[in-house]
Amino acid sequence: MLNFLNFSIKFLIIFLLVVVFFVFSTLWYFSIGLPDYKKLSNYQPPISSRVYSQDNKLIAEYALEKRLFIPYDSLPDKVINSFLSAEDKNFFSHPGIDARGILRAIINNLKNIAQNKRLEGASTITQQVAKNFLLTNEVSMKRKIKEAILAFRIERAYSKERILELYLNQIYLGQGTYGIAAASLEYFDKSIKDLNYSEAALLAALPKAPSKYNPYRYPETAKFRRNLVLQNLADNNFISKKDYKKFKESKLKLKKRKIEIVNEANSYTEEVRRTVKNIYGFEKLYSQGLSISTPLNIEYQIQALKSLRKGIEDYDKRRGWRGPITNKIKNKNWENKLAQFKLDPTLNWKFAEITSTNNNKITFKIINNKKKKNLEGVLLLKDINWTIRQKKSIPETHKVGDILFVKKERSFWKIKQYPKVNGGIVAIDPFNGNVLALVGGFNFKTSEFNRVTQAKRQPGSAFKPIVYAAALENGFAPNSIILDAPFVESQGIGLKNWKPENYGKKFYGPSTFRKGIEYSRNLMTVRIAKVLGLNKILTLSKELNIYDEIPELLSVSLGAAETTLMNLTSAYAPFVNGGNKINPKLISRIQDRRGNTIFQDKDIKCIGCDKFINNDDLLPKIESKSKKVISEETAYQMNSILQGTVKRGTAKKLRSLKVPLAGKTGTTNDNYDAWFIGFSSNLIVGVYIGYDNPKTLGKNETGSKAALPIFKDFVENALFKDDFSDFEIPENIYLTSLNYDTGVKSAIGEKSSIIEALKLKDINNINKNTLVSTNDSDKIIKFRQFY
């Protein structure tokens, strides 16, 4: 008996040693190559970056996962209690693995196997953190052992609060949402602090199987699972039996989150996205929760899009009707044809099939109608006249079965045609460079190409103010006399001579400097450039960032080199702000996820703001960091001349607005591109119209006809009378009455007299005449020279 006892003790000791050896060997084996759990200390869950307008409205969101981060201290007890009851009620007492939970799961699973039911797990929240952050979703004993080892290590390294914070911000809860904050918004459109126990229990019910318990798709299954969580809450004494019954009987009250993002701002926000991505990289933009503030004015942006579309559609109508999209009767693949069109929802265009026609109207029905209703409508003759060719009737032009675009405007249906031409519009604050509105094309969904920032085209006459500003800086005056006559320039041996022409191919003889801009005279501009010297013009255009590299050709003075609408529009700012260069800004500030400012664009500095000064004579001063590119006097003279373009010249269509405006039209050779850059005392607006694959816009389609009306429509609808004020006149500018045609003194009110803005030296030399050679022996420029 004694021998048997000794043998049993020895056997037990050996068995225990083997077990211990086996356990340690297993732990050692599975510990090899385990992920480093220490990286959880610096873990920051990926959260979305957001873009805001100047009035802090959300205009764009960039994310790989829908997630908002909530620190533990901000987690409500209702949410914590619900998740603990659903997932791990012993979380705050176990060391990472719940032995009681494992034992319970084993017993229950024996019953489940016998009853052919689904097996249940016993993973703790810590184990789920180990799996979600450090391991894969592989279903195997090997992964479970690794999960357990990591759970022990995580518990030793981190507090329970940190582990729960990681879990609740990382867990997937369906509908593309990660973390409880995003899920709360997605299912209830509420902040988590506003959830009741019924709602918190539904969220806690989702981690087991987010798709299976999706309350939008399977409300009854979701409700059943929610009630199980409520039962656990009651069993754990987090809620009373009375509350349990009340919540159990309550219906699922879901409210899907609606993010009102301004679709009209797609061009603007895409430019912001590209800029931030280029500076900080893809990963930081899409996962680091940046808060990006922009100077976007939503009202300006919406109106800019409307005005651009109206102008493009008006131009397209002038080019005539090109026919229907297709004919449903003749084309069996008509649905494929319609599928090729990707329309921006802000267009509100519908596909319509013609059901009948007569000489007075078209009757149609909407197709692809999401509301599944048979919506019918009528197009009246007055609204489709532009589609009817001469001597033809409605039935001859439009056939039954034709599919076309229609849109309801002010209770009447209008026929629409998708334009082939495109364009852009931008509005900029001339004092700080803030881009207040930017539209890069007719339909962002079809083409994300930005015709404000990416399209490089010849600006034509819209570049001339830069030539004239350089001339005013170097001795010319608004009343200098320039010869408007044929001009010939040799281009080298074997090459044809260059012979520029005015629009209309007319010559006007000696004319004032001012007229050269107001009536956009090419020959006067070329002569000014010849006398002035190209170097001065090129230097100023580079300082204003209009061009990067410019050929030293006289044709550059007529806008023959390529630039963008953004660069040219911002180059007009010195004419408004007193001669200072601006840099257009789409981003005001960028903050990281914790609210730290990582970028802020400032063109001003405060002298003395870092010191406390209790002395009125030593108050801090604000100084602009903007570079002075032309004098204040030259800036106003150009401003005055460009106001003259509106009063008398190529932009006189704006006179009917009866507000202080200035600007310049631009048209390139053969009417390939149309431009208008206009401004008030506090806003610059640039407009461009042209084909993406360059071709002529057509006869008479100039900047005045194709681009200027877009500017006018924007100003009429986006601005109020109070937004306008007179342009500020510098102290060293002298206003005097001069004859508009001759540039000599005249009495105020005399025929052809205007009020001219002159510098002091211009006043002192107002009656001097000088002849200056152009280095072309038979061509002479006559002007008043002031030195």
Question: Mean pLDDT score of the chain, rounded to an integer?
Answer: 86
* pLDDT, position 786: 30
Nearest by Cα to 783 from 541, 509, 477: 477
Position of tokens 């956009």? 520
Does 287 have pLDDT greater than 80?
yes
Whether residue 211 lies in the annotated active site: no
Predicted local distance difference test score (pLDDT) of residue 772: 32
pLDDT one-digit tens code per residue, 297-321: 999 999 999 999 999 999 999 999 9
What mean pLDDT do residues 403-413 have? 93
The distance of Cα 722 from the centroid of its chain, to the nearest Å, equals: 28
Reference 275, options 596, 694, 590; nearest CA is 590
Mean pLDDT in residue range 289-299: 95
pLDDT number for residue 700:
92
Residue 464 pLDDT: 97
SS3 423: strand
- List, for residues 418-461, the tens digit of each pLDDT value: 999 999 999 999 999 999 999 999 999 999 999 999 999 999 99
- Whole-number pLDDT of residue 498: 87
| 0.75 exceeded by pTM | yes
Per-residue pLDDT for 706 more than 90? yes
β-pairing, 66-67 vs 177-178, is parallel
Tell me which of 48, 85, 87, 307 is the catalytic residue. Answer: 87
Answer yes or no: is pLDDT of 143 > 70: no
Mean pLDDT of 545-570: 92
Spell out where 247-337 has E strands: 291-293, 326-327
The answer to which of 237-246, 370-379, 541-550, 565-574 has the lowest mean pLDDT is 370-379
Q: Which segment of 143-157, 175-189, 251-265, 402-416 scores lowest on mean pLDDT?
A: 143-157
pLDDT confidence tier of residue 281, bands split at 50, 70 and 90:
very high
Percent of the chain with pLDDT over 90: 63
Q: How far apart are CA 645 and CA 240, in angstroms?
A: 80
Residue 510 has pLDDT above 50, yes or no: yes
State the DSSP string of 6-65.
HHHHHHHHHHHHHHHHHHHHHHHHHHTT---GGGGGG----B-EEEE-TT--EEEEE-SS
Question: 463-500 pLDDT, tens per residue?
Answer: 999 999 999 999 999 999 999 999 998 877 777 888 99
Contact indicator for 134, 15 with CB cutoff of 8 Å: no
| pLDDT for position 21 | 54
Q: Is the pLDDT score of 784 beyond 50?
A: no
The more confidently predicted of residues 259 and 196 is 196
Which pLDDT value is given to residue 390?
Answer: 74
pLDDT tens string 755-782: 999 998 877 666 543 333 333 333 333 3
Kindly name the residue from 82, 461, 570, 640 that is annotated as catalytic: 461
For residues 697 and 690, give the distance between their C-alpha atoms in angstroms, rounded to a whole number: 7
Q: How far apart are the first and last CA of the chain?
A: 131
413 has pLDDT over 70 = yes
Q: Which two tokens stand for residue 17?
A: 């040693």
Whole-angstrom distance, CA of residue 479 vs CA of residue 757: 9
Burial class (CB in 10 A: 0-12, 13-18, 19+), 254: middle
- pLDDT for residue 563 is more than 60: yes
Please tell me the predicted confidence (pLDDT) of residue 523: 95
Q: Average pLDDT of 394-422?
A: 94
Percentage of residues in the chain having pLDDT higher than 70: 82
Reported as a single tens digit per residue, the pLDDT across 708-745 is 999 999 999 999 989 999 999 999 999 999 999 998 88
pLDDT tens profile 71-96:
888 899 999 999 999 888 888 888 77
The two tokens of residue 173 are 């809860």
pLDDT of residue 135: 59
Q: How many CA atoms lie within 13 A of 592 on its CB side?
A: 8
Find the mean pLDDT for residues 53-70. Answer: 88
